[in-house]
């Protein structure tokens, strides 16, 4: 069956953006099975930014498999989700940590490594920032309330909390968002040691790292908050990713 969504006559195809997904036990009708899924707000945000969303389920993968996936994409988003395995950065897990999702860690590592190698536009969201930092050799604060004395970033119960992010002049985050933006938070971990190759591009008013730029990428930004939850404030991140993805696609075609 043909899709009901079509491109305007004469318009360039919309850039294709891959988004990683959760693999969790899920119930639908009579079924209660492991399933890959992603909240609709993520791919709605990509569509508003002018892109086409493609969902990538956790699966065994190597570098060649990652390249095969990325060959069909113009940009990549590593989405939010469960805590990254603390053994990646040499620490025992905090009692509050989620059970690690090793299949997802491995998939996202492979995709990110190959995306950076080919200079593919990238946006990391919450867990996506943490995967990026730990893949490149950085570490995490495993439970922010132990460090800052409050639960301001994680109210629990699926309730996002507003917090300020103050950008660093001269960074991509500052160019996209201005000096200060109110963000939607839902995380109990954050970057501790910043990996080589990343530049801190935003902090909270308490010093917690809220965003980084990926130095090696023409467009690479990762944020600790959930921009998909605020179409008004954070649409610029998705629009900028899609714009960069269109340029990446065109450059790839020109080299072919």
Q: Which residue of the set 108, 187, 188, 228 is catalytic?
A: 228
Q: Within a domain: residue 156?
A: yes
Instruction: Grade residue 9 by pLDDT with cuts at 50, 70 and 90.
Output: low
Q: Residues 75-82: what's their mean pLDDT? A: 96
In this predicted structure, the answer to whether residue 6 has a pLDDT above a threshold of 60 is no
Q: Within a domain: residue 136?
A: yes
Q: Within a domain: residue 134?
A: yes
Q: Within a domain: residue 7?
A: no
Q: Within a domain: residue 4?
A: no
Phi/psi-derived region of residue 18, left when phi > 0, alpha when psi is between -120 and 50, beta in every other case? beta
Q: Which residue of the set 187, 188, 226, 229 is catalytic?
A: 226
Instruction: Write the CB contacts of 102 (distance below 8 Å, at least 6 apart in sequence).
Output: 85
Q: Which residue of the set 108, 126, 187, 229 is catalytic?
A: 126
In this predicted structure, the answer to whether residue 234 has a pLDDT above a threshold of 90 is no
Which residue, among 26, 22, 39, has the nearest Cα to 227 in the 3D structure? 39
Instruction: Grade residue 1 by pLDDT with cuts at 50, 70 and 90.
Output: very low
Structural domain count of the chain: 1
Verify whether residue 143 is a known catalytic residue.
Answer: no
Q: Residues 125-138: what's their mean pLDDT? A: 97
Q: Within a domain: residue 1?
A: no
- Answer with the residue of higher pLDDT: 189 or 34: 189
Per-residue pLDDT at 10: 60
Lowest-confidence range among 23-27, 53-57, 235-239? Answer: 23-27
Q: Within a domain: residue 197?
A: yes
In this predicted structure, the answer to whether residue 8 has a pLDDT above a threshold of 70 is no
- Write the pLDDT tens digit of every residue in 32-49: 898 888 999 999 999 999
Contact 215, 204 (CB under 8 A): no
What CATH number is given to the structural domain containing 235?
Answer: 3.40.50.880
Q: Nearest 5°: CA angle at 214, between 254 and 256?
A: 10
Neighbouring C-alpha atoms within 13 Å toward the C-beta of 230? 19
- Answer with the residue of higher pLDDT: 12 or 160: 160
What span, in angstroms and rounded, lies between the C-alpha atoms of 73 and 53?
Answer: 10
Q: Residues 92-102: what's their mean pLDDT? A: 93
In this predicted structure, the answer to whether residue 3 has a pLDDT above a threshold of 60 is no
Q: Residues 60-71: what's their mean pLDDT? A: 96
Per-residue pLDDT at 7: 55
In this predicted structure, the answer to whether residue 232 has a pLDDT above a threshold of 70 is yes
Q: Within a domain: residue 8?
A: no
Which residue, among 72, 96, 76, 73, has the nearest Cα to 86 in the 3D structure? 96
Range of the domain at 109: 16-24+33-255
């Amino acid at each position: 069956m043909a899709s009901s969504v079509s491109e305007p006559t004469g318009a360039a195809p919309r850039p294709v953006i891959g988004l990683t997904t959760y693999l969790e036990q899920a119930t639908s009708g009579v079924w209660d099975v492991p399933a890959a899924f992603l909240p609709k707000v993520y791919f709605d945000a990509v569509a508003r930014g002018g892109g086409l969303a493609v969902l990538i389920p956790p699966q065994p993968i190597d570098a060649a498999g990652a390249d095969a996936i990325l060959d069909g994409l113009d940009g990549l988003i590593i989405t939010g989700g469960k805590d990254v395995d603390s053994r990646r950065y040499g620490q025992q897990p905090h009692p509050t940590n989620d059970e690690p999702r090793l299949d997802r860690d491995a998939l996202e590592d492979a995709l990110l490594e190959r995306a950076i190698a080919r200079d593919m536009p990238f946006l990391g969201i919450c867990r996506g920032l943490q995967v990026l930092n730990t893949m490149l050799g950085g570490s995490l604060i495993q439970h922010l309330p132990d460090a800052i004395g409050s639960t301001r970033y994680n109210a629990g119960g699926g309730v996002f909390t507003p917090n300020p992010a103050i950008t660093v002049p001269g960074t991509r985050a500052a160019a996209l968002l201005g000096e200060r933006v109110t963000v939607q938070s839902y995380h109990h971990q954050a970057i501790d040691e910043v990996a080589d190759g990343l530049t801190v591009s935003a902090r909270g008013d308490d010093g917690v790292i809220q965003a980084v730029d990926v130095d090696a990428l023409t467009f690479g930004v990762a944020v600790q908050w959930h921009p998909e939850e605020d179409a008004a404030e954070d649409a610029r991140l998705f629009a900028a990713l899609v714009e960069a993805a269109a340029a990446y696609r065109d450059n790839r075609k020109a080299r072919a």
